[in-house]
Structures are given as structure tokens and as C-alpha cells.
A and B are shown apart, each in its own frame.
Chain A
Amino acid sequence: MAEINYRSLLETNNYLRNLSDTTYWLCITRTVQESKLFPMNPYMLLSYLNTFYRLPTLLREIDAATPAEELGDRAREVSLKVDTVNAAWGMPAFYLIGREMLMNWGLLGPADAAQDVVDVLDFSRRFNLAYHRNDGHITNKEFGDRSQFLPERTLQVFESDLHGVTPGDRLHTAVTKLVAQLSQYAFLAHCECRIGLHNSGPYNFGDSRQLIVRDFFDLTEGDYPWLDGIATGLPVNNLTIPIVFSDTNFHLMDDWASFEAEPSYNAANIVAVGMYTSDALTDGYRPVGMTSKETLAETMEHYREVLNQATADLWKRIASWSREQMIDAGAIVYSSVAKDFAHLAGTYRQDDWFVLDDRVQRFKPLMNDEYGRDDLGEMVGLLGFPHQKASEYTMARYSALNQNMLTGIPYSVLTDADFAPTAGDQLSGSSSLPAKNGLWTTSAGRIDIEEYNRRAKEFTPSVLAGPFRYLDEEWVKRNYTSPRADDLYRLAQRGSQHLKDRGAGLRRADLPRTGQ
């Protein structure tokens, strides 16, 4: 646990205020999200409460097994679900929003759970610093709404191995249709949440081209009980599709991993694509169907067929759910945004993440659709909770009003004693959903959770092993001719068709031209 002292509180409150401002900006640039299928707003409120009560305990166990900064290192090398929208923004934001709800109800004071708040934000800050190590910022917002966490050695492999496309050719059509199907399916599998999709970049690919990296997570049997028996024709649980655009400037990649471009996103501007997978057990990105343009098109077409059927199968399953089952599923999806930390650390237990805490269940009768919609709007848009107001002299960032979404820890905790520092570590809960019975789909095959945890505990990616972990691009800049640098780059080049064993000395002009 982090120590509570003046310095740690100053850092905690600074991090919290930045998150508060960014989250307000993200919320006001969207409309209220509603769905005719899922009671979204009620489940979102319950998910925040679930996160408040359970996350600190779960994170402490994870942090003890694998420190947050090491988890950030992992997320910086490949696409993992502990990403921008889930782990970097969602995890701390959901925790703190749950705290706001309880404070507004008078069931919590701002000093209560101070130890939990400090611990969650300390974990989050260390993760984010390591995740964003290559660009040196802590959030996409701080970096000017950019997301560039991948190193040159990985991007060079992408640039060399991606297959060129033109509108109307087989691969162009295949990737366009697959990305659409993946997006559709990811929204459904995540109960209308966007957190199954992730975008990062842009990266400058020269010649008026930019790369964005599009990820899709939890596609088949794994953590979500409702995916048992769904999309089992997919051999992988996650897919990463790097896409190169010409004459398109992605001017915004925000902390919800959403992008905006000028001119707007248009598939006709796609000039090169690839497909990879990665998870807690892969040593770098693993190419999927990348051996030839035809093989990639064929693989994408096949996956699209599997996911098209899976969408219909899953939709029928969900359409038969009760309101409470829909609410439990959605709440669990949101409150488990940090679950893949446990997969990386090898501490994953299904009941840690896939129940609603007993302390949360008591609030369910309040959660009709109107209250859900309006309480959420009041809390994150209007900032109308009485305690969200600040002194009349205050002009907050973005709104210039005297109100803030998230409440800091009062420094009086250093001298006053009448507060309870933690919500406690005894977790119990339940769910109205059918229990999970299937296996977990991983890069090591379909395995049970004990095997998954065992493998995860024993695994360290080669680029993070002793000799390489601290070799960043400031080091590469002056040591690219050294054998150590070559060894580091060769690790990323192992699965490459065109860069295998080429080492660290290459610049863009040296990369092979491969039909792009």
C-alpha cells in the first residue's frame, strides 16, 4: 500500500483533477448513450459502485504479484486489453465516479477510503507512466490527443510486412468488411460498451501516410460467460489490424480510444493492412494470415463469416435475457475493465470480476431507466451533485464554471481521525447470469484458468527480460550499431517476413518496398 503523506496526497489530487477535467471533456463531447436493447445507464451506475467496492483489493493483489509499472511495460509492447480506454482511463475513472455517487448519497465522506483512493491512483499513475513511456506523457489528452506507445522496432515490422491494397481489390474489401463486423460484434459482446474496441496512433508512415492500430478484444470463449460456445471458429481471442491511410490526418485519438480524422475516415483511403494477435502469453505480436496478400484476404473473409454468425447467435442469446441479467452483464463488463491485469499477473479468478458485490446489490431498486439516465447526466455532464460545486471564484477547465466532476481527498486526513481509510478487503457478491463453463481461448490454445494463470506467472516477454527492459529509444539513438541493439530489434523481427534478423540500424529508406 502507498503511504499517505502530504506528498502522496498532492500527487494523488493532481492526478485526480486531471482525470476529472479529461473525463468531463470526453463526456460533454458526446450525447447521452442509450440503447433500446440494454438498460445502459442503470448498469453503468451499478458498475461504478462495483468498481469502488472491489477494485482496491484486487489491484493490491495484482500489484504484489506484478508491479503496475511492469504491467505498463507489457501494455507498451503489444495490444492488450489493459489499454487506453479500459485501464488507462476507465479503471481509475469508474472507481472515482462510484466514489462520487456514494458521497452524494451521504454514504461516504471525501476522506473515507482515502487509502483506497491513494492506492488505486498510485497504481494507475505507475501503469500509465510505463504504458506511455515512449511518448513521455501520462494520458492521450496530455499528449494532445495522441497515442503513440509502440517502439520503432515494432513499427518497422508493420511498415515492411503490411500488404498494400487498393479500393475494390479482394484484400481491401475483406479488411473493410471484417473491421465493420468486428466493431459490430464487439459492441454486442460488451453489452453496447465501446471497450472491446481500441484505436491507437497515429504514426507517421511518410509520403502523406499515417498508421492507426485497431484492436478488438475478447472475441470468443474467455472471461465473459455469455461467450461460451460463441465464435468458437476463431482460433484467437484478440485481433490487431494495423491500417495505413493516405492523405488522412488523424488529428484526434482520445482517451476513449476514439479517433477523428480530416478528411473523415474513408475506407477508400486505406493503402496497406495487416493482422496480428497478442495476449498475456504472446512474446510480441503474432502475425495472423500474413504470409501473402491472398492468404490474408482469405483469413479475413473466414473470420468475418465466423463473426457474422456469432453476432446472430449472441444477439439471440442476449435478446432472451431478463432486465436484471442485462444489467448484471453490462455492469460487470464495465467494472471488469482491469481484469486483464490479473491475467498478466496470473492472479485471475472468475468470481473476482464477474459478480456484483453484495454492497452494490442494495442499490438496484433505485436503478430504473430514467434515474440511470438522469443521475448519470447530472453527475458527468451537468455536474449538478451539490458536493460537486466549488467556491464561487472557481473557473474550471473547459467549463469555466465553479464545479468539478471528481472530488479530491481533503488534506485534513493528515491531522483528523474520524474517517475510515478503506472500504475493506472482504469481497462477496452474486450474478443473475449463467455461470461460465467454457475454456479460455489464448495464444497457447484453449486452456482452463489454472493453466492460464500458471503460464502467465512463468512468462516474461523477451523484450522485457533483464538485458533489454531499460533500452529505450534514447539509448537506441546512440547505440544502434551495438550487438545489444541488434539483439533487441531482432526480437521484434522474429515473425517478420521481410525484416527477420535485420537488426537495429535500419531507417525508413532502408526498409524493403513490398507492394505498398
Chain B
Amino acid sequence: MADSAGAPPKWGSIEMLPLPARFNKAVRDLAAERFAATGAAWKDVVFARQYDLFSLADARAVEQAALDDGYRFDFSATVSLESEPDKYKQPERAASAYAEGPVSEGRRQVGVGDNVIRKSGSVTGPVALISTIEQVMSYLTDGIPAGTIAVIDDSGGTLTAPIIEGFAGVICLGGSVRSHLGILAREYDVPTLMNCKIDTLADGDVVEIEVTAAPPAADAYETGDTGHARIWKVEG
């Protein structure tokens, strides 16, 4: 290790994604510099003096350098954005991921998704867009209006854990039929489309989800043969 500390591996280059590339290189450079400064053998430093190589203060400095450069992080959990709003990009209204669908029988196609459980008929109802703890708490307290179809931008199973059974249907904007939410939809027998691409929807819009579609084949996420269940907005 001593001979090669700081030298890049023979066949490697650098990470492909920007933040890992930035952070990891910063840690590597710092560790190499600190080790060189010890003048000791690697075996006597790697664990015995590990805080000399990298410390809590160093980690804070790596993060601060990115923030000082104006970098703001994507958030995934709402608690991250709420607890450290200055570090994260503010959520923007999602751009439409699906545009210009055909019109048929007073309905306009507003999206596609992957059906989890094949049903004998489509499901129609007003949508409710759910992405925060507060919304879930409100439904938990006040109940879910009958027939509501949830639009959830989270393929996990925990945000909506106490209320998922109460929905007439679910449109999930991420994940796959194998995601936790897909697994739970199957267990609860809640008509659900995963991996949906939709046009902009607002609370109360009435949609029809085509849960009569065949679920994706086992290799669909490798071949890209997905998105066969249609989502219609009932107009008028």
C-alpha cells in the first residue's frame, strides 16, 4: 500500500457520477497527503492512526467545500430537506414526463405505467398527490375519501405504510413491480401501476388506470419493454 498510496489503480479512472467523483477524490487526495506526511509505514498508520488520515472535521470540510462552490444536493427523504434546507435543492414542480396523449371517448391519455396485478376492469377515481409525512398523518387522522387513487413519487413502502390499503388505486412515479411498494400492492391487492410516466396531474383530477394490462415480463427492466398500462384523464 505504501508504494501505491495516491497512485490511481492501473485500469481505473474516476467515478462516473459527479458527487461521488468529487467527494471520493477529495478523501483520496487528503488521505494520501496525510499518509505521506506521517513518514511512517502504512501498516502502522492504516488503523492505528486512522483519524490522522481522515477525521470528522475533514468530512465536514469536504461537504462545506462543495456547498461553498454553490453545489446543492438532490434530496430523497423529506426529512433531509426539512432539517437542512440550505444544503438541498428545493423541489421544483415536476416537469411533465408524458405529453400529448391521444383522446378517446371523453378521455385523454396522460401517462403509462407497469401493472402489478392484472384485474378484470380498469379503476377510475379522483387522484391525490402524496409526498409528505403531513399528508399521510392527515389521512391517518381523517380517513381517505372513498375511491381515491394515490399518486406517489416514492417506490418505498414506508411513507404510506399506515394508509395504503385505503386507496382504490395507486400510481407510483418510480420503482418497478419488484419495488417494496409493488410487493405491498400485490399483497394488499390494491390496483397499482409502478414506474409511471405522467403528464401533470392535480389533486381531484379524475383518472382511469388500466389495470387490465399484462404485468411486465420477467426481463422487462433489462429489455426496456415496459409501460404498457395506460393512464387516462377523464375530461369534462
Contact = CB atoms under 8 A, between A and B. Distances in A.
Contacts of A322: 79, 83
Contact of B221 (A31, A362, A382): A31
Contact of B20 (A319, A371, A417): A371
Contact of B77 (A326, A362, A384, A424): A326
B162 A311 contact: yes
A420 to B, nearest CB: 5
Interface residues of A, number: 83
Interface stretch (B6-14, B93-101, B121-129, B197-205): B6-14
A390 B137 contact: no
Interface in B156-184: 156-159, 161-162, 164-165, 174-176, 178-180, 183-184
Contacts of B155: 31, 33-34
A321 B76 CA distance: 16
B53 A107 contact: yes
Contacts of A450: none
B24 A260 contact: no
Given A187-B158, A315-B162, A29 B221 contact: yes
Interface residues of B, number: 89
A386 interface: yes
A40 interface: yes
Interface in A265-281: 265-267
A368 B159 contact: no
A41 B80 CA distance: 12
Contact of A392 (B11, B77, B174): B11
A264 B116 CA distance: 9
A359 B59 CA distance: 12
A180 interface: yes
Contact of B156 (A35, A252, A267): A35
B26 to A, nearest CB: 9
B13 A371 contact: no
A34 B176 CA distance: 12
Interface stretch (B41-49, B142-150, B228-236): B41-49
B48 A194 contact: no
A151 B156 CA distance: 35
A112 B158 contact: no
A326 B31 CA distance: 29
Given A34-B174, A323-B80, A326-B77, A366 B46 contact: no
A112 B9 contact: no
A184 B17 CA distance: 33
Contact of B157 (A41, A187, A260, A264): A187
Contacts of A391: 10-11
Contacts of B84: 323, 368
B192 to A, nearest CB: 13
B1 A419 contact: yes
Interface stretch (A88-96, A231-239, A373-381): A373-381
B42 A418 contact: yes
Contacts of A40: 76-77, 156
B16 to A, nearest CB: 4
Contact of B43 (A321, A368, A378, A418): A418
A164 interface: no
Nearest to B1: A109
A282 interface: no
Interface in B1-59: 1-2, 4-6, 8-20, 23-24, 27-28, 31-32, 41-44, 46-48, 50-51, 53-56, 58-59
A376 to B, nearest CB: 9
A402 interface: yes
Quick one: which of B8, B44, B161 has the most chain A CB within 10 A? B161
Nearest to A318: B158
Given A111-B1, A315-B162, A184 B157 contact: yes
Given A184-B187, A323-B77, A386-B8, A365 B161 contact: no
B140 interface: yes
B55 A39 contact: no
Given A34-B174, A37-B159, A184-B184, A418 B77 contact: no
A359 B189 CA distance: 45
Contact of A109 (B42, B80, B218): B42
Interface of B: 1-2, 4-6, 8-20, 23-24, 27-28, 31-32, 41-44, 46-48, 50-51, 53-56, 58-60, 62-63, 73-80, 83-84, 87-88, 117, 131-133, 136-137, 140, 153-159, 161-162, 164-165, 174-176, 178-180, 183-184, 186-189, 195, 215, 218, 221-222
Given A31-B221, A371-B73, 8 more contacts: A35-B154, A106-B6, A184-B187, A323-B77, A369-B80, A370-B74, A384-B17, A386-B8
